[in-house]
Amino acid sequence: MVYLVSDLHGYPIEDIKKKFAEIGFCEKDRLYVLGDCIDRGKDGMNIIKWLMPQPNVTLILGNHEAMLLKNRFLFEGDRIPGVLELHSEARNNYAVWASNGGDVTIDSMGQFTASQIKYMIKYIERAPLYKEIEVGGVKYLLTHSGLGGFSVDKPIEDYMPYDLLWNRPSLNTRYYEDGRIVVFGHTPTVLFGSEYSGRPIFTETWIDIDVGAAMGKRPVILRLDDKKLFYI
């Protein structure tokens, strides 16, 4: 079975583990996490730590993990520097990340050793921007935010990271006409209308599975094989 989840945003790790145990997730299954494990909630790095040793789990990069990578220098010394100790470009990167919920992640680093932090950052660095998979004869393209600057003939490797990390689709967005489905998170479905609050959106050409954990909703796991939903 193939499972997808996105935008956990530091959701309590014990609840996540419990739900996957309940589903019966095992080595024969696969899990793709469509980015934004970290920030806003405090368990983001614990989610990364949980994903890391699992060979059947793939983390796809989210814009929040990309912001962490831009600020990785913060964790390279003996202590995390204060914002006023930084020069202007670094100070700006820090401010952007911190004001987007990264402050919680920075504060949470104290619970890990320097080498744990190093390995977690290395793991995030290796996260791909997209993944193409096939389940039950249907092709799926997984990215964090859909495809910005979409053009039907444009090969996936030609998209800029920004287009895969920060894109905001609209309800009228149509992607491929060949049956391929684009699955993403990043845009909480409530932003498409209050009637979508807390539930994923399925259209003919895309699926948005960010049901708004960053806004206090329970995240959802989608099983692609039968489209079954499991709320954490």
Q: How far is the CB of 6 from Mn ion (least distance, A)?
A: 8
Among 186, 213, 214, 222, binds Mn ion (CB under 5 A): 186
Nearer to Mn ion, 67 or 232 (CB): 67
Structure token digits, residue 28: 């024969």
- The bridge status of strand 181-184 relative to strand 201-202 is unpaired
Alpha-carbon span 188 to 40, nearest angstrom: 14
Over the window 98 to 137, marking each residue x when it contacts Mn ion by CB under 5 A and - when it does not, the resulting string is ----------------------------------------
Q: How far is the CB of 137 from Mn ion (least distance, A)?
A: 30
Subset of residues 54 to 73 that bind Mn ion, contact rule: CB under 5 A: 62-63
CB 35 within 8 A of CB 63: yes
Under rule CB under 5 A, residue 210 binds Mn ion: no
Under rule CB under 5 A, residue 208 binds Mn ion: no
Q: How far is the CB of 9 from Mn ion (least distance, A)?
A: 9
Q: How far is the CB of 36 from Mn ion (least distance, A)?
A: 4
Nearer to Mn ion, 165 or 221 (CB): 165
CB 161 within 8 A of CB 129: yes
Alpha-carbon span 221 to 20, nearest angstrom: 9
- 104 half-sphere exposure, CB direction, 13 A CA radius: 17
Under rule CB under 5 A, residue 40 binds Mn ion: no
Under rule CB under 5 A, residue 9 binds Mn ion: no
Alpha-carbon span 65 to 176, nearest angstrom: 27
Under rule CB under 5 A, residue 36 binds Mn ion: yes
Number of residues counted as binding Mn ion (CB under 5 A) = 4
Alpha-carbon span 88 to 48, nearest angstrom: 29
| Rg, the chain, Cα only | 17
Under rule CB under 5 A, residue 167 binds Mn ion: no
User: What percentage of the chain's residues is helix, strand, coil (to nearest 5)?
Assistant: 40, 15, 45
Q: How far is the CB of 100 from Mn ion (least distance, A)?
A: 9
Alpha-carbon span 98 to 101, nearest angstrom: 5
Q: How far is the CB of 128 from Mn ion (least distance, A)?
A: 16
Q: Which residues bind Mn ion (CB under 5 A)?
A: 36, 62-63, 186
